[in-house]
Amino acid sequence: MKRVTWIIALALFGCGPGGGNSDGGGGGGYLVFPDQSLWTHQPSIDVDSSGALHLGYTTSLAGGSGHPIRYAYCAGGCGNKTAWTVVELNDGAFGEGQVSVRLFDGKPRVLWFHEVTQAYFISICDGECTKLPSWTTTQVADTAKRPEADTHFAIDAAGKPAFVYLDSRIGREGIFFIRCTGNCNDRTQWTEVKLNVPAGADRFALAFDAQSRPRIVYRDPLANQIGYLQCDSSCTSTASFQGGTVLSSEAGHPALKLDKQGRPRLLHMSGNKLHLAWCDSNCTQANGWQRAPVGAPEGYGSAGFNLVLDASDRPRIAYSTANNGVGYSSCKDRCTSSDATWRHAVVETGPQLDQRAPMEVAQGCSTSSWMVGEGATLALDPNGNPRLIYEVRHQKGGSCLTATDAQYVRVAAFAEVP
């Protein structure tokens, strides 16, 4: 029988309401808006070996005149907004869709999409990354479909970035795997291959094993199935990728990680509940997979979820709740079984943020409230403590037309739940 424990948010951040931009108390936990100079959204987070935080996200200029892509860095004291340094990577261009940041040897690679040119760009830094001249930006793929979740981008064991993307242009319809094979600032040194997946397949995730071999999952919305593909050598042709549909799934964007032995662990929605699936052998066949619900209530994860594995290969999950909040789940024991022990925590809710960062009721309106939890993404610090980033939107309404009048990314940091 599954063992489930819920921990309320006050246990993560202390007993007081805390500050919108300060340490909330309780074991060094904090909640912070790292950048409120513009509307910010569609974030990603990674943590280096020193515990420093690296963020990537999209912003919105007034009147929709541009969507600059930004990178933010904090080495310590990150509960204070002044500890953050922000760099604008694309000079106000029209970035859009999910931004993804990954680290190699502590240096960031940021993948983003340009909504006007309909192309993917990668921004790479190997120097002093809080200074714009240390960055290079290269267009690496053309497509007509922007990314939707922070699961499609990964870096192999040699430090070479790769991603999976969907193209909907006539004559190019399908899912493609693209990978840097040399100088990643040279578009000609990126190679791509079209994957053999069902027509209409979308919502994909990518991971590499320790030998830099790619593993990919996708969702087939027409058949309500999740597919799994793997390539073990010469991954430059369609035939190199073997696999097919392995699990049923009615909704959601699957998230994939590999354990230290290269075995896939897959988070997905089934029956409107979050499930963890695992495979230890024969993973290209449906009979190689098993799964179990993680114990979160129905509807949790419906607005997004993310998966990482800790140093012991135990899954950690961030997700939207079904009642205006963001949650965190941590498996403690027997994680690849129906008898897993999970701990669950509510990280923050809209009513809590209303108290921590209240906004005045707009003129002509009668209500003012925060909506919390979309786009939750997760990383762990060197000690295995969670660092989450997610979107919050402020809405005015009541006696006026309901509308969003502020939108920001928010970072939550706290000690691993016991």
Structural domain contains residue 15: yes
- Please state whether beta strands 3-7 and 341-349 pair in parallel, antiparallel, or not at all (unpaired): parallel
CA distance 157 to 131: 27
| DSSP 8-state assignment for residue 288 | G
Structural domain contains residue 329: yes
Element (H, E) at 355: helix 350-356
- Please state whether beta strands 251-258 and 242-248 pair in parallel, antiparallel, or not at all (unpaired): unpaired
Structural domain contains residue 108: no
Contacts of 202 (CB under 8 A, 6+ apart): 166, 175, 218, 219, 221
Q: pLDDT tens for residues 153-203?
A: 999 999 999 999 998 888 888 899 999 999 999 999 999 999 999 888 888
pTM for the model stands at: 0.94
Q: Are 141 and 192 in contact, with CB atoms under 8 Å apart? A: yes
CA distance 380 to 256: 16
CA distance 64 to 348: 29
Across the beta sheet with 95-104, what order do the strands follow? 95-104, 107-114, 119-125, 135-142
Predicted local confidence at residue 281, as pLDDT: 95
Burial 9-35 (b: 16+ CB within 10 A, else e): bbbbbbeeebbbbebbbbeebbbbbbb
Structural domain contains residue 281: no
Share of the chain above pLDDT 70, in %: 91
Average pLDDT taken over every residue of the chain: 90
Structural domain contains residue 122: no
Predicted local confidence at residue 157, as pLDDT: 96
Domain that holds residue 417: 1-20+298-418
What are the distances in angstroms from CA 64 to CA 54, 68, 92, 182, 385? 26, 11, 11, 37, 37
Region for 407 from its dihedrals, namely left if φ exceeds 0, alpha if ψ lies in -120 to 50, beta otherwise:
beta
Structural domain contains residue 140: no
Predicted local confidence at residue 92, as pLDDT: 62
Element (H, E) at 220: strand 214-220
Structural domain contains residue 249: no
Domain count, the chain: 1
Mean pLDDT of 5-15: 58
CA distance 134 to 92: 18
Q: Are 390 and 360 in contact, with CB atoms under 8 Å apart? A: no
Confidence of residue 250 (pLDDT cuts 50, 70, 90): confident
Structural domain contains residue 309: yes
Output 243 or 5, whichever has higher pLDDT: 243
Contacts of 250 (CB under 8 A, 6+ apart): 224, 269, 270, 271, 272
